[in-house]
Structure 1
Amino acid sequence: MSTVEIRDVRKSYGAHAVLHGVDIDIADGEFVILVGPSGCGKSTLLRMVAGLETITGGTISIDGRVVNGLEPKDRDIAMVFQNYALYPQMTVAQNMGFALELAGARKEEIKRKVDHAAGILGLEPLLGRKPAQLSGGQRQRVAMGRAIVRDPKVFLFDEPLSNLDAKLRVKMRAEIKALHQRLRTTIVYVTHDQIEAMTMADKIVVMQGGHIEQIGTPLDLYDNPRNMFVAGFLGSPAMNFLDGVIVGEEGRFVELAGAGRVTLPGRIPTATGSAVIVGVRPEDITISDGDGIVGEVVLVEPTGSETHLAVRVGGQDLVVVLRSRMALVPGERVNLSFDESKFHLFDKGSEERISVARL
């Protein structure tokens, strides 16, 4: 078993608190991604699991053993950094086997493990090269291979793809996911890129300001965000937010500021007059023939398979994702229809999600 338990973990630098009592359970073989904006505490938390940062309060356990006081080498973890951290004077094979050499492993065992990891990662032709002779993606695979040969209980990844170009990031995402499916080792992965989190994780931990906002599977967080921060952070393009007021005798409608009335997907009889925020994802808005809310096209961005629009409605720009190609130009007026069954409703004051059934 390779479980990780994080209990009420806190971190302060003097009077400055960075983490405010974090609780996370990571199951054996689970791929968990810590995601959030820069400065939210995700990398600090990962470094605390690794033993590279001291813990101000709480406990971190690996396989039921509290590791707060253990040195990194005694935690049976392997960490992959964003800057690769390869020794420039060593070959690929030497970089991958160096930790085993330091541990006193026999040469035959080192070669066997290095060859095995190289086979998994497609590095066999590169074993004799030095890091300066490798591309960014190849260096990242070497860093991953160095972790694999140690056969750790837990892999830790600290924004490993942030230095790669967009095309290579897509390729490396697939390689890391395939590696996890093959090894089934527990992985804790940090990124600020929500696309990485959505496409790779078994479970996502969304962080902000040293707090956990929500934990769940990618689709659960996407479909049922707990608050406006999670709703706006996950999804590309981001969710649209519209100010509104609950109206109607049974509270089934929302009057959107400057944009007309829309219907809620349920009855909320006690909420008439409540100020709310309506969230609607760009893919849940379509261009209609004569019905819906009128807006003015501000920007057209064709991407090939999709067309992204910015449409001004009531003084606010909404992002719309169209699956089909349309010959639209800035300044043109269009009618927008919403998939009202997929509305997200948030309290105006707290920004917490409102269940239509209990409003």
Structure 2
Amino acid sequence: MANVNLRDVRKVYNQTQVIHGVNVDIDDGEFVVLVGPSGCGKSTLLRMIAGLEEISDGQVHIGSTIVNDMSPKDRDIAMVFQSYALYPHMTVAQNMGFSLQMRGNAKAEIRTQVEKAAKILNLEPLLERYPRQLSGGQRQRVAMGRAIVRNPQVFLFDEPLSNLDAKLRVVMRGEIKALHQRLGSTMVYVTHDQIEAMTMADKIVVMRDGFVEQVGSPLALYDRPANLFVAGFIGSPGMNFLSGRYAGGAVWIGEVPLPVSDLPVSASEGRQVIYGIRPENLAISDDDGLPLVVDVIEPTGAETHVVGHISGQRVIGVFRERFATQPGDVLRVKFDPRKVHLFDQQSEQRIN
């Protein structure tokens, strides 16, 4: 196991800079998720750690070693890809032990390491099967087993669950997290799915357009997003954003005042702001709430999602209650002022 440190890492393709001076510290044994929309640079950054992409500038440290000029095989890392990349003519055991065979390890040692990894991943009954005889989840576990037998300092995962159906993704999410808890290894995981990031990570690195927007624990990013992008990316359904004017300790959208707690707000009177509130921080009120005109009702069973608008601006609420209402009805809702996020309209940075 080892820590991974990125120091002012940059990547340039044909004079176009795509990674802009990234600085990230990944502690020994930590599970870190790089998350962001497609094209944000997260996979490129992972491939630079692995040595599959050249580093244009900056340094990548694995342990105490600068690995910029080291080949991938010498970095003591193991990578699990989106595609399983299994050899179809080899059994599960042969696929898992192939890297050790290429190193010249003894057959008895290879067998011991394969059996140990198979036990961790519940693959023991499948060792003599071929990839074509396995389900998608089983193939992904074989790919993980192939990485485990190498006993690397760092595991790298590049969107390993993207090819699985929704239900299996949830199962494999839990299996990868349990694997990390058993091994205690340093893991860097790339995904565009913020639910995966929230449920699996010790630390999340949110990226956009080759920049790091915010680094922190899942709940820190959820509770105190640094800017509008992070606030909108983390959380499902996404945070409500309403454009308004800060005045008299409230945010006004038209003639409707939205409550703000008495926490310090660096906003002058009349400043144009974005008022953010998460859907679960709305509550049904009998008479003194804000008027939410209902557009769509989405019952999920455990919750009811209500999509509507206040003063012409879209709002979604998530409620535990079940109630009979129709599009066009008006619900009275209260916003929890302690859970309000305020952002400057121009800079999009948090101001409360």
Q: State the TM-score, normalized to the length of structure 2.
A: 0.98
* Contact persistence 2:266–2:351 (CA under 8 A): no
Equivalent residue in structure 1 for 2:305, among 304, 308, 319 = 308
Output the CA distance in 1 between the equivalents of 2:306 and 2:72: 49
* Contact persistence 2:246–2:270 (CA under 8 A): yes
Equivalent residue in structure 2 for 1:346, among 340, 343, 346 = 343
Alignment gaps of 5+ in structure 2: none
Q: Report the Cα offset of residue 262 of structure 1.
A: 2.5
Output the CA distance in 1 between the equivalents of 2:148 and 2:264: 54
Output the CA distance in 1 between the equivalents of 2:129 and 2:256: 62
* Contact persistence 2:246–2:267 (CA under 8 A): no
- Indicate yes or no: 2:245 matched with 1:245: yes
User: Residue by residue, what CA displacement relative to the aligned partner does 1:60-85 show, whole Å, maximum 9, x if unpaired?
Assistant: 01011011111110000000001111
Q: Provide the residue aligned with 1:27 in structure 2.
A: 27
Q: Report the Cα offset of residue 328 of structure 1.
A: 2.1
Q: Report the Cα offset of residue 212 of structure 1.
A: 0.2
* SS of aligned partner of 1:214: strand
Output the CA distance in 2 between the equivalents of 1:49 and 1:211: 16
- Indicate yes or no: 2:303 matched with 1:285: no
Alignment gaps of 5+ in structure 1: none
Q: Provide the residue aligned with 1:46 in structure 2.
A: 46
- Indicate yes or no: 2:10 matched with 1:10: yes
Q: Provide the residue aligned with 2:161 in structure 1.
A: 161
Q: Provide the residue aligned with 2:292 in structure 1.
A: 295
The residue type paired with residue 124 of structure 2 is: E
**RMSD, matched Cα:** 1.2
Q: Report the Cα offset of residue 292 of structure 1.
A: 1.5
Q: Provide the residue aligned with 1:140 in structure 2.
A: 140
* SS of aligned partner of 1:70: coil
* SS of aligned partner of 1:8: strand
Output the CA distance in 1 between the equivalents of 2:78 and 2:41: 20
Q: Report the Cα offset of residue 148 of structure 1.
A: 0.3
Q: Report the Cα offset of residue 261 of structure 1.
A: 4.0
Q: Report the Cα offset of residue 290 of structure 1.
A: 1.3
* Contact persistence 1:265–1:343 (CA under 8 A): no
* Contact persistence 2:34–2:188 (CA under 8 A): yes
1:160–1:288 CA distance, 2 compared to 1 (3 A): same
Identity, % of aligned positions: 62
The residue type paired with residue 114 of structure 1 is: V
The residue type paired with residue 63 of structure 1 is: G
* SS of aligned partner of 1:5: strand
* Contact persistence 2:283–2:335 (CA under 8 A): yes
Q: Report the Cα offset of residue 317 of structure 1.
A: 1.6
Q: Provide the residue aligned with 1:108 in structure 2.
A: 108
